[in-house]
Structure 1
């Protein structure tokens, strides 16, 4: 038991040192010793091990100031890679991400909303092989794949319980994709993957408590509390699209009446627009708003009202430091931001309004891919 405790302690120390170098590089061995409280001898041993394994390198930089100069350390981005995949109703995106969180290659292809599960898996596998081959990434350096997709996801068993957008139910996505690619696969809801990216390199990187709201083909949220993803009992925390706004309202495809998604999602906006005009795409609705057509202004004004109400309710429930708004609706129709902000100012409770930051994601179309790859790295990387 004592030997196992010692091995565990050594592993934890090694992980801690590597994380400090990764977060604070360039950094000297002496600075690491001060931060960790470990002896310089222990730090030197750990750094040497990490160097031999390819994780750490000495930079050409040295510390400044008086006294003996110390060589600074940095991490090696090409020591390993993970692959991030985003699956959505009409698109598949795949990116290769290195150890320091840089997307070294990314590509997207279209997906037929009605295509079969097996066809989508085939597209993912072929595109993945194409990316790996075109950028000469050695397979042995790829430690795994992360997949983000809309729906209710059993991330522990790798099963898509239900995805309305993809028309999937109880599919063994992780196991099936692993069999096709040979890589270990982790799956999760797309917004939970995206908030990982926001927490590491986006608008939530300095926050312990944050909420990400995604508005597009559907609507949902992901929550970080005390630095960890809050999942709830069955990984469904944040599914705000099925909170009921009006029990006498629109019928939702979940079977309930008056769900938030039936007022905010792009499908709901299109459905209401077609009651007035022959509309074929969401872009036509946005253009009609820009042209000053009253029906489009009314529909999108109502949409911004419901978005603000959803944000207000989230803030009262979780009281985060920052709430990040993202999604295709925000990207393709930035004019809605001003309306959301005005209505947030109207509806958000004053004591919360004074403290919270309401911001918009900068990660745009790469957020889910990056987050999925980073989550795969977080869960699959095992230091020897």
Structure 2
């Protein structure tokens, strides 16, 4: 347990302060007395910590609570707009950078296309430009930013903040943390994008209060964030959750990863688009044929076109989603066998199809586990914002982590708050 700090008076003070701060953040507005009740700290200890936090502008008094007799307790609230986090999602569609307050509320965000296939210097230059634009247009001083969280598609060394490789983006060895921490005086945390989405759903969404669940993101690729006993499971080298590349047919089509028959080739966006093209070329009856006459021909087909047709009762389009959902269900059966989760949460662009995907998934799961209690299959709650909120959680979980553990990031986390 080399990540545990040795006990001393300073550590006890930090633990008490952390308890008070987390209680105000999670339950505020709240009175000193209730903070004392929740934390089991003495009222005088709570009052001293609160006084110090008010002096430093981290919290403030806001109104009074109804009294059951005697003096009305004064309520304390966290100053959520005094410090900020940058949350980023980097994928094939583009780079989204968001400014997020201490209550995980997205205040602003900027999108720019991804420099797919470009070298490290180009990628990082674009990232810096977007960050600076966001800071400038919101008039935020850099010393008010406590950290940046980045979710990126690919294999990530979380401890070093490096994207080791991303087949879908064509990137290798992007040193996000090292580069950004030279530019800015705040810590940077990097993880797989699906893990950031999972963090958000764990804190605020369908995974709240659930110890064991899997969050699947379906879109241009397929990934999974795995929560075991309340914690994200990263594996030995950061590669856990590469769900889209489990092989479900050894003689299947060649995947961009180099293997044949990966789940992505049977369930992701490209599968649905290719199946739609195939249906048109085979002269099957489908509304998509009419759509592409208006919108640009066979190569203009998108997953949204197929979904629009399916929602209008197009049997060909519905069957395509049925097949994709069934294939995804086969992959999920493997996840359930391995991890025995209470919940499977599904998000990403593919989840927009809703029951067109979920219903066949449930059928496959039910047929494979007939004696097992029903396993909940649910869409994520936070939508597209979940990726950004989860990226911010990478920072917040470190800032407000239990101080008995050594920090994973720079000491600048503490200096950002002047604890």
Rounded to whole Å, the distance in 2 between the matches of 1:365 and 1:40 is: 42
Tell me the distance in 1 between the aligned counterparts of 2:277 and 2:310: 14
**Alpha-carbon distance in structure 2 between the residues aligned to 1:350 and 1:312:** 12
Task: Deviation per CA, 1:97-127: give whole Å up to 9, x if none.
Answer: 1111111111222335445443333332222
RMSD: 2.4
Q: Distance in 2 between matches of 1:352 and 1:379?
A: 37
Per the alignment, residue 383 of structure 2 pairs with 364
Give, in angstroms, the shift of residue 91 of structure 1.
1.6
- Structure 2 stretches lacking a partner, 5+ long: 282-297, 400-412
Deviations 1:1-46 (A, max 9, x none): x996111111011101111111112222122222222211111111
Cα displacement (A) at 1:275: 4.0
1: CA distance, partners of 2:315 / 2:348:
25
Describe the superposition over 1:134-172 as per-residue Cα deviations: whole angstroms up to 9, x where unpaired: 111121110121110111101111111111121111222
Confirm whether residue 8 of structure 1 aligns to residue 28 of structure 2. no
Does structure 2 conserve the Cα–Cα contact (< 8 Å) formed by 1:304 and 1:343?
A: no
Residue number among 270, 274, 293 corresponding to 2:273 in the alignment: 270
1:83 pairs, out of 86, 92, 98, with 86
In the superposition, the TM-score normalised over structure 1's length comes to 0.91
Aligned: 1:347 with 2:350? no
The correspondence for 1:125, drawn from 123, 128, 139, is 128
Distance of aligned partners of 1:3 and 1:207 in 2 relative to their CA distance in 1, 3 Å threshold: closer
C-alpha distance in structure 2 between counterparts of 1:351 and 1:30, whole Å:
49
Deviation at 1:61, TM superposition (A): 2.5
* Contact 1:63 1:72 (8 Å CA) reproduced: no
Change (3 A) 1:293 1:62: closer
Q: Note the alpha carbon deviations across 1:343-364, whole angstroms, 9 max, x for none.
A: 256335245443x432211222
CA distance in 2 between counterparts of 1:20 and 1:237 reads 32
Q: Count residues with an aligned counterpart.
A: 381
Which segment drifts farther, 43-52 or 372-381?
A: 372-381
1:302 to 2:323 alignment? yes
Deviation at 1:198, TM superposition (A): 1.1
Q: Is it true that 1:152 corresponds to 2:172 in the alignment?
A: no
Task: Give TM-score, length-normalised by structure 2.
Answer: 0.83
Say whether residues 1:201 and 2:221 are aligned partners: no
Q: Distance in 1 between matches of 2:396 and 2:40?
A: 27
Measured after TM superposition, the shift of residue 288 of structure 1 is: 4.7
> How far, CA to CA, are the matches of 1:55 and 1:109 in structure 2?
33
Aligned residue in 1 for 2:338: 317
Q: 1:12 to 1:352 in 2, by over 3 A?
A: farther
CA shift, 1:326, in A, is 0.1
